[in-house]
């Protein structure tokens, strides 16, 4: 499904500013140089996802993907109760089987775009991440959570199963035995258990989460954007292929980093005991 702004060139700042006010469900803003944030903004229903929300999210991702100034993307939810409390059940209740398949496919396509972005994506889970919310977090490269966060795939309680990648991404992150337990029981996982299981990278006090996310993002903006993009692509591709093929892919990717200017800049800065400075990742297609 082609997204509204795909494959177009933009005046990045003006386009983001012009569209930001038109979204009903999403807030997109530049927090600092190179650091952008997407906030799911439906606080009255705990940021639940419907089709319009996914469409707006796709438009945001078009803007992020086309903007060479973006170095890191943060993803969060409005308010202090929920990251995203799932898909909108009132919306799903009226779906036919075919419409449900289309909704699931579109959600999967949308969430898969986070792994296809060249920049690191950090989920800041500030509350409930249930169903589609857990799936959205799992689509990001990092998950940091507040000590009030809660994760679950509770779709079984509605006599359905995860539709936005939960059954597959959860299995890849936690292993089949634990993932199948969580999907079949729908039980809640609080942030401390999520950290022990490896579901999240770090847990912070609720009032420190946003600053922790910014600090992580700031650190990443000082890394080579070409190296980060290569690492992300390599590790996502290598996850699902045999080890010998993945190692060959690593060698090829390793060589490509030597062909770029960033490697020379970084190595010279190391030898000079200075701070390397890198250019933005320019869009090449």
Q: Which residues are catalytic?
A: 135, 155
What is the side-by-side strand order in the sheet with 150-152? 82-84, 128-130, 150-152, 189-190
Instruction: Check: CB of residue 140 under 8 Å from CB of residue 203.
Output: no
Q: Are 171 and 179 in contact (CB under 8 A)?
A: yes
| Token output for 76 | 């969060």
Q: Classify residue 224 by burial, with Cβ atoms within 10 Å: 0-12, 13-18, 19+.
A: buried
Report how far residue 115's alpha carbon sits from residue 178's, in angstroms, rounded to the nearest whole number: 23
Rounded to whole angstroms, the Cα distance separating 212 from 32 reads: 14
């Amino acid at each position: 499904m082609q997204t509204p702004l795909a494959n177009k060139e933009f005046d990045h700042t003006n386009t983001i500013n012009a569209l930001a006010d038109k979204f009903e469900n999403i807030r997109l803003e530049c927090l600092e140089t190179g650091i952008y944030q997407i906030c799911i903004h439906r606080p009255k229903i705990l940021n639940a996802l419907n089709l319009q929300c996914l469409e707006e999210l796709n438009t945001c991702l078009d803007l992020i993907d086309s903007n060479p100034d973006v170095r890191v993307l943060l993803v969060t939810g409005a308010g202090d109760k929920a990251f995203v409390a799932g898909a909108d059940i009132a919306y799903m209740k009226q779906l036919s089987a075919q419409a449900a398949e289309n909704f699931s496919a579109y959600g999967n396509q949308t969430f898969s775009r986070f792994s296809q972005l060249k920049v690191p994506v950090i989920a800041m889970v500030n509350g409930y991440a249930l169903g589609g919310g857990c799936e959205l977090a799992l689509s990001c490269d990092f998950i940091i959570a507040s000590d009030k966060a809660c994760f679950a795939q509770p779709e079984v309680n509605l006599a359905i199963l995860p539709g936005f990648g939960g059954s597959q991404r959860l299995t890849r992150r936690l292993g089949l035995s634990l993932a199948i337990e969580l999907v079949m029981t729908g039980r809640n996982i609080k942030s401390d258990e999520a950290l022990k299981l490896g579901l999240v990278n770090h847990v912070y006090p609720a009032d420190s989460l946003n600053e922790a996310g910014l600090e992580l993002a700031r650190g990443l903006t000082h890394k080579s954007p070409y190296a980060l993009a290569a690492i992300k692509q390599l590790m996502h591709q290598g996850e699902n292929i045999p080890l010998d093929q993945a190692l060959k892919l690593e060698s090829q990717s390793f060589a490509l980093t030597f062909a770029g200017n960033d490697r020379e800049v970084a190595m010279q800065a190391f030898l000079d005991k200075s701070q390397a400075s890198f250019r933005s990742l320019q869009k090449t297609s």
